[in-house]
Amino acid sequence: MFKYIRQRLESGRSASDIHFSSFVDWKKSNRYGFPYNTSCMAYDPVLKVLALGTKEGDIVLSGYPGVFWEVTVSGKGAAKEVKQLYFMNGTGYFIALFRDGGFTRYKINGSKIREDMSTIDARMKSATSCHSARRFPDESPIIYIGTVSGNVYSLLPSTMEVHEFFTFDNVRRELESDEEIKNALAQFSSKVSSLCVKPDDPSLMLIMLGRSVALLMSANHMVASIRVPVEVNDVVWDKKSDNIFMAHTDGQFTTWKAKTFYTGGHYFEKQETHELFGPYPCDEMTRLAVLNNETRTNNKPHIPLVAYMGVTVRHAGKTLVYQFASKVLDIIGAECLEDGTKLRKDVLLVLTEYELVAIDIADERWRAMTQQVFFPLNASPITAQLTCSSIEEHVWRSLLKMSEVYWKQKDLSDRQYPMTAGMESKISAERDSRGVNRQLFITGHFDGRVTFWATTPYSMRQLFILKTSDLFKDEEEKTVTGTLSSKASGMSLPVMEVGEYDEYCDDERLSIVLLNFDPKTGAFVCTNRCGAILVYSYYDEDVCLKLESKTIKWELEGTKPNLAKVQPLYPRREAVYFPAGYQPFRTGLDAKYVQLAPCVPIKTLSYHADLHMLAVGSMFGYALLDYRKYAVVENVFLGDNVPGDALNMTLNRFRSMKKSIRQTFRRKNRSSTPNTTVDITSDPEETFRPVERKIEGRATASDGPPPNYVTCIKVLRIPTTNPACLDDVVAIGTSQGSVIIYKLHEPKTAIAITAYKWRELRLSHGAPIVEIDLSCEAGNSPSPQQRLMVFTEEQIRGFSVPDLRSTRIKYKITSVEGTRIKNAAVVKLPLKRDPGEHDMFACVVTNSGTVNIHSLSSPRKRVEHEVFKPSDIAGMNSAQITQEGELSYLGYGGQELHKEVISAHSRRWLEPMKGVVLESLNRS
């Protein structure tokens, strides 16, 4: 009796008084990947921290992988675009210059960044160049800002005061006495294009006016001026050699010296002209940096130079050109001291639009370094993504092993990145081997590659890349990163392609559509756009395999001309070598993959790794397949009432974009010709009609019955006959609101699995099924409270098992709120104060951009959290919720991975250790 009462009381608690606050606590946790729209970078050689500023107004700081700070600039629009960043080396302060002329000083304060002080000066709006330098060796640096008017201002970081440092008008007369300089100023304007300070004597400053006139300043007096014959993009005053390097628009660079007469006057002297690319002018040289690679015998500086789309490193007659697939924005020579010898071994950091590449100058072959932070997530556009948590330890170990092999064969320098802030505390944190640290994020890309990322709560690291394109015939060999190859196009310089980013791909059929990963066995399935399904499994030995295809065919009524256009990819005739690691699943030496006919992309798939049962659903039907025997167990055609245009659209998205661009240009050309006739035939009411929506029941939709296709497939374990024993079932959800459940039977003999249709649930409202799951954790013993949760676009429903009766778990989200479910998951959230206790919740992503958490015992009770903008469809579609209550989604069109923590309890361990104590900062 007591037990009964206690049970009643407990169930009463969960049903009526749910305090979401004791389970749910939203927190934005981390962002991974290369920041979107990065505009500038800065490096602090004392703290060893790199900062990136973006046009979106974000500043991201990174130390050792996983040590991470982030701040979003207050303000809005283009005004908060970060233009420049400066570190007050070693103090933990840094200053950001924004587009609107504002300066803000920030301070690294533990795990957070504090906005310290800001100033806004209208004169700074027209800033054209900046330089930070110390006036006296032990003073904090001053930022000099050159403006379009030719004036230079100085900003004192300690007080954030702006002073006039140099006024162009004061020297205008003096300058214009020289006819040559006068002409140059008239031609190129007097804006300060670049400036630099002599490193060991900060009283000397070089100012370039209008890219053509160089002024030498000594304590804000002009002491020398010269007209430089070729326009100058960048000037650098090297400390070691005391040379001034000038980068010119014709692709050359020159070295100069500022010399002093014995009388005290100053003058310029040109030392050398370096022509990099032959006798003819070529790409502009936009940036220039000097690096040091000190050895016992040789310590001449390397000079890397940036030209558009490439970086060149030159040292002692040896030149190497690096090629990037995206535009190079900036380069930094990061000062690095070797640990034991204290020799300078600088690292060249190259910031491009889509990635950050570090080049090891101390390496014999000047190789790029193994990427450690700011991985380019969308190295090729992301077309599919998957988050897996709680991966079994043995699976995780084999993944790490594969990663090791992968990076070894990449031929990269394995030197540590110069950003090492917080390294000590991080390494100890990484040893933590809890399940939560074994999270996998898998991305499928447009060019057919599948990238595996290890996302511990602290950091994201690229494990390895699987190239599915290797298996197919018409694949083009691409230059592997890091190999030296001479370009045949007349350029005699050695060229090295670096960086992962490559947005181009010839064959859209290769692009990955769906991914599936089994955290218990590590079995991995991916499918591409032309309907090929590849199942990978981990193998310890290298192998040479010849792949064959196994076709699942749906007979269509009539012909679809659009379908005929898509040809399948054919496997290679010769055997393909696979190193130990992920290899196509095989029985014996018989490796096959599944090809759908017609070649349509798969809508959904599920893989039962124990039974090797693959269930796939496309827009025409579904099929169950025993992958061990390559036997089709069940193949059901649902109908081909898919409008042909829709199909065409999905397959030729990129082509159609090209077409629309072409049309835009045509329209533009047409409109430029004067056209006075007005088209009066069109109905004015038709053109001025406001945006309106037709209200029509689903059954009476004008274009016939809605298409019937598979939207969701799930392998589950539920009791089907005996409530005490669980059976393997496959639940198939369709677009017309039915759930078809198949029961699986594994025979003891060697014949294939059998499956028979067990039940079909037809929901009366007929909205597409989004997700099917169980309300309780999958366990070995069934629970009487077990419900089959069916999420349709419009409703959340719970059904009893095994008789599939409607229960009171029911919420009609569209009827009540007007939003539709895009994505759903059942999550288990522990109680904040007592992690031993937990409750199950339904977490849904709606099309209005909110993520709602519904109590499973009474779904009417819910909390709502706004995550996405309603227009961010890509973000919503990519949203995934792990069972532990962590939401991950792709931000900024797939360039970044964002994570948010839902669970109040798990916040503690899912939150990244953003602010590890910086010992160097504390010392100073």
Partner 1 sequence: MSAHLDGSYNSSRDSANSQNSTSRQSHFNSFNAAPLPSLLQVKSKFDAEWRRFSIPTQTGAPNYDAFRRLVEKLHHLSGVQFTLCYNANSGDLLPITNDENLRKSFDSARPLLRLLIQRKGESWEEKYGYGTDSERKRKGLSSLITTQKTPKRNYSISNPEDFRQVSAIIDVDIVPEAHRRVRLCKHGSDRPLGFYIRDGTSVRVTERGVVKVQGIFISRLVDGGLAESTGLLGVNDEVLEVNGIEVQGKTLDQVTDMMVANAHNLIITVKPANQRNTLSRGPSTATNAGQPPTSRSHANLNLGGTANSSYDGGYHPRAAAAAAARGDSDSGSDDEVIDYHHK
Distance from CA of residue 489 to its chain's centroid?
33
Helix axes 653-672, 644-651, angle to 10 degrees: 90
Q: Using the rule CB under 8 A, is 814 a contact of partner 1?
A: yes
Q: Using the rule CB under 8 A, is 818 a contact of partner 1?
A: yes
Q: Which of 78, 649, 816, 873 binds partner 1 (CB under 8 A)?
A: 816
Q: Using the rule CB under 8 A, is 700 a contact of partner 1?
A: yes
Smallest distance, Å, CB 714 to partner 1?
18
Q: Using the rule CB under 8 A, is 44 a contact of partner 1?
A: no
Taking alpha carbons only, the member of 668, 672, 807, 778 closest to residue 716 is: 778
Please identify, using beta-carbon distances, which residue of 541 and 685 lies nearer to partner 1.
685
Please identify, using beta-carbon distances, which residue of 810 and 907 lies nearer to partner 1.
810
Torsion of Cα atoms, 124 then 127 then 132 then 133, to 10°:
-90
Please identify, using beta-carbon distances, which residue of 55 and 743 lies nearer to partner 1.
743
Q: Using the rule CB under 8 A, is 841 a contact of partner 1?
A: no
Smallest distance, Å, CB 693 to partner 1?
4
Smallest distance, Å, CB 820 to partner 1?
6
Q: Which of 703, 704, 803, 836 binds partner 1 (CB under 8 A)?
A: 803
The label of the residue with tokens 């300043």 reads: 217
Q: Using the rule CB under 8 A, is 817 a contact of partner 1?
A: yes
Phi and psi for 111 in degrees, rounded to 5? -90, -5
Q: Identify whether the C-beta of residue 351 lies closer than 8 Å to the C-beta of residue 330.
A: yes
Smallest distance, Å, CB 891 to partner 1?
23
Segment near partner 1 (CB under 8 A); pick from 122-130, 312-320, 664-672, 857-865:
857-865
Q: Which of 549, 848, 877, 920 binds partner 1 (CB under 8 A)?
A: 848
Smallest distance, Å, CB 840 to partner 1?
17
Segment near partner 1 (CB under 8 A); pick from 89-97, 166-174, 318-326, 805-813:
805-813
Smallest distance, Å, CB 768 to partner 1?
13
Please identify, using beta-carbon distances, which residue of 124 and 813 lies nearer to partner 1.
813
* Tokens matching residue 779: 């366990």
DSSP notation for 804-832: --EEEEEEEHHHHH---EEEEEEEEEE-S
Binding mask 171-210 for partner 1 (x = CB under 8 A): ----------------------------------------
Q: Identify whether the C-beta of residue 141 lies closer than 8 Å to the C-beta of residue 132.
A: yes
Smallest distance, Å, CB 733 to partner 1?
14
Phi and psi for 782 in degrees, rounded to 5? -75, 150
Q: Identify whether the C-beta of residue 880 lies closer than 8 Å to the C-beta of residue 864.
A: no
CA–CA separation, 609 and 503 (whole Å): 33
Q: Which of 164, 654, 870, 873 binds partner 1 (CB under 8 A)?
A: 870
CA–CA separation, 773 and 731 (whole Å): 9
Q: Which of 678, 699, 724, 750 binds partner 1 (CB under 8 A)?
A: 699
Taking alpha carbons only, the member of 827, 821, 825 closest to residue 876 is: 821
Give how far Cα 316 sits from Cα of 196, 307, 319, 571, 601, Å: 25, 20, 8, 49, 55
Please identify, using beta-carbon distances, which residue of 67 and 767 lies nearer to partner 1.
767
Residue 729: which H helix or E strand, with range? Answer: strand 726-734
Please identify, using beta-carbon distances, which residue of 18 and 155 lies nearer to partner 1.
18
Smallest distance, Å, CB 811 to partner 1?
5
Q: Using the rule CB under 8 A, is 16 a contact of partner 1?
A: no
Please identify, using beta-carbon distances, which residue of 540 and 703 lies nearer to partner 1.
703
Smallest distance, Å, CB 613 to partner 1?
19
Contacts of 795 (CB under 8 A, 6+ apart): 763, 765, 767, 810, 811, 812, 813, 814
Smallest distance, Å, CB 16 to partner 1?
13
Please identify, using beta-carbon distances, which residue of 600 and 739 lies nearer to partner 1.
739
Q: Which of residues 729-788 bind partner 1 (CB under 8 A)?
A: 743, 756-765, 767
Smallest distance, Å, CB 850 to partner 1?
11
Segment near partner 1 (CB under 8 A); pick from 329-337, 515-523, 579-587, 798-806:
798-806
Q: Using the rule CB under 8 A, is 806 a contact of partner 1?
A: yes
Give how far Cα 112 sits from Cα of 107, 373, 374, 921, Å: 9, 19, 19, 14
Taking alpha carbons only, the member of 382, 416, 406, 576 closest to residue 482 is: 406
Q: Using the rule CB under 8 A, is 705 a contact of partner 1?
A: no
Please identify, using beta-carbon distances, which residue of 330 and 817 lies nearer to partner 1.
817
CA–CA separation, 255 and 490 (whole Å): 27
Neighbours of 850 (CB within 10 A): 18
Smallest distance, Å, CB 691 to partner 1?
6
Q: Which of 101, 571, 782, 859 binds partner 1 (CB under 8 A)?
A: 859
User: If DSSP codes are grouped into helix, strand and coil, which group holds residue 42?
Assistant: strand
Binding mask 669-698 for partner 1 (x = CB under 8 A): --------------------xxxxxxxxxx
Q: Using the rule CB under 8 A, is 659 a contact of partner 1?
A: no
Q: With CB under 8 A, what is the number of residues at the site for partner 1? A: 50
Smallest distance, Å, CB 860 to partner 1?
5
Smallest distance, Å, CB 703 to partner 1?
12
**Burial (Cβ within 10 Å: 0-12, 13-18, ≥19) of residue 815:** exposed
Smallest distance, Å, CB 729 to partner 1?
12
For 87, which DSSP code?
E
Q: Identify whether the C-beta of residue 581 lies closer than 8 Å to the C-beta of residue 690.
A: no
Sign of CA dihedral 530, 536, 542, 548: negative
Q: Identify whether the C-beta of residue 42 lies closer than 8 Å to the C-beta of residue 61.
A: no
The count of residues in the chain is: 924
CA–CA separation, 607 and 624 (whole Å): 10
User: If DSSP codes are grouped into helix, strand and coil, which group holds residue 471?
Assistant: helix
Beta-strand relationship, 318-323 and 494-497: parallel
Please identify, using beta-carbon distances, which residue of 35 and 621 lies nearer to partner 1.
621
The footprint of partner 1 (CB under 8 A) covers: 689-700, 702, 720, 743, 756-765, 767, 794-795, 803-806, 808-812, 814-820, 847-848, 858-860, 870
